[in-house]
Amino acid sequence: MIKFLKSTFEKLKEGTLFLSSTITTLAIVLIIIFLFKEGIGTFNQTPIEDGFSLVVNKNNPINELSANEIKNIFDQNITNWKTVGGKNDSITLFNIDNIGEFYSDSAIGENFEYLPQCISDYTEKNPGTIAFVTTRYTGKGFTGKILTTTKVNISQFISQKEWFPTAQPAAQLGVLPLILGTLWVSFGAILIALPLGLATSIYMAEITSPKIRNILKPLIELLAGIPSVVYGFFGLVIIVPGIQKIFDLPVGETALAGSIVLAIMALPTIITISEDALRTTPKAMKEASLALGANKWQTIYRVIIPYSGSGITAATILGIGRAIGETMAVLMVTGNAAVIPHSFLEPVRTIPATIAAELGEAPQGGLHYKALFALGCILFIITMAINLIVGYVSSKKKYNAR
């Protein structure tokens, strides 16, 4: 009986162990569910804010406009209905705030109760009109036509070049500049960090004495632990003004500043991991190479580097992954202009920085909010892919070593 109790008890404890080990899996599943639930919501909404409508003359053959078309119309880049597939008629914008110029107060009504009629009347008289009005004013007595708006779709979301999520009348949700900005900054960071990091790891693993290595290694590990916001702060007070002075720019907050800060942050990761990889080279291999008359440098680049190649690759990819996902430091030094980057001396905005900067102001459940979650999904997918690549590269190493 006691034995039975004991074994049940043991089973129970083991069950607890099992349950806690499934938490990570559960966490990933939950993250996917919550991230994508909100993110996918983006693609079911119109880019026009709830409670507003676009109205035109009732005989206008256009039924639907896309966010981009709306923006171009209101920016007066498109001035003819023909461009968006309608009749050959010029577009006139009508601002509802100016309605007093055309109709007397009594015609509009004390509480704007006749406003729908006025709007209808105005669109009737000016067939090329388009107006952005509160949906409330398209109720009773309204005879114009309400345009529908093309819902946000994935291909537009990824390929459009403008990110103005709070723009009126239609939000412009194009992630391309953000994706390119992220890649641009990360690419610059790796360009700086990789040669420096590799050189340092080779120096620490093979060239210097163990004494110096024992000083350097803890120092570099310590620097890996320093919060990103401190690096960002350092970038803000030193690197940003420095860049502004050296290149004589109006602002120092540039992609270059982001790349430098990210490179400094990625260095400890790259150095530690690739140093570990370099040190896995079997002593026998090194000694065989030296015994054959190769000197130390030849041994390093003919034996040690090829042997630990996959480890170094993994370190590089992890460094890139860290750079892509880094938020605070980048947010503080890159200037956050959502434009497609052309040079390293322009402000850029990355995906994580966009989320961090805008989520606080986006009304919950709105299009902007959901679009930021969609950005989170993109980030999640990118880093997931990077993880899988790292996993693949490291598993390949095991196979080779056998």
Contacting another protein within 331-390 (CB under 8 A):
331-332, 352, 355-356, 359-360, 364, 372-373, 376, 379-380, 383-384, 386-387, 390
Minimum distance, C-beta of residue 210 to another protein, in the bound complex (Å): 15
Number of residues engaging another protein in binding (CB under 8 A) = 85
Residue among 43, 124, 233, 340 that touches another protein (CB under 8 A): 233
- HEC string of 12-42? HHHHHHHHHHCHHHHHHHHHHHHHHHHHHHH
DSSP code of residue 151 = P
Tokens of 231: 């690096």
Report the residue from 220, 314, 320, 338 that binds another protein according to the rule CB under 8 A: 220
Q: How far is the CB of 217 from another protein (least distance, A)?
A: 11
Q: How far is CA 121 from the centre of its chain?
A: 46
Specify which residues 52 forms β-bridges with.
134
Answer for which of 391, 392, 400, 401 binds another protein (CB under 8 A) is 391
Minimum CB separation of residue 236 from another protein in Å reads: 6
Strands (E), 7-114: 52-56, 64-65, 92-94
**Residue selected from 171, 204, 303, 393 as contacting another protein according to rule CB under 8 A:** 204
Question: Between residue 90 and residue 119, which ones bind another protein under the rule CB under 8 A?
Answer: none
Binder among 10, 50, 75, 287 for another protein (CB under 8 A):
10
Footprint (CB under 8 A) of another protein, residues 251-280: 264, 267-268, 271
Task: State the Cα–Cα distance between residues 249 and 246, nearest whole angstrom.
Answer: 8
Q: Does 200 bind another protein (CB under 8 A)?
A: yes
Q: Select from 93, 147, 216, 249 the one that contacts another protein (CB under 8 A).
A: 216
* CB neighbour class for 377 (10 Å; exposed up to 12, middle 13-18, buried from 19): middle
Instruction: Let me know: does 334 contact 185? Beta carbons within 8 Å.
Output: yes
- Of 71 and 397, which CB lies nearer to another protein in the complex structure? 397
Near another protein by CB under 8 A: residue from 50, 125, 191, 219? 219
Which of 154, 191, 230, 288 touches another protein by CB under 8 A?
A: 230
Nearer to another protein by Cβ, of 71 and 322: the residue is 322
**Distance of closest approach, residue 260 Cβ to another protein, in angstroms:** 10
**Least distance to another protein, CB of residue 29, Å:** 9
* Interactions with another protein, residue window 122-141 (CB under 8 A): none
CA angle 52, 94, 68 (to 5 degrees): 60
* Binders in 23-52 for another protein, by CB under 8 A: 23-25, 27-28, 30-31, 34-35, 37-38
Distances (CA, A) of 116 to 51, 66, 144, 182: 15, 24, 9, 46
The Cβ of residue 242 has, within 10 Å, a number of other Cβ atoms equal to 14
CA distances from 377 to 172, 352, 384 (A): 18, 11, 10
The residue (of 49 and 326) whose beta carbon lies closer to another protein is: 326
Which contacts (CB < 8 Å, 24+ apart) does range 239-242 have?
Answer: 239/333, 240/333
Nearest Cα residue to 59 out of 13, 128, 116, 10: 128
Binding to another protein in span 283-342, by CB under 8 A: 295-298, 300-301, 321, 324-328, 331-332
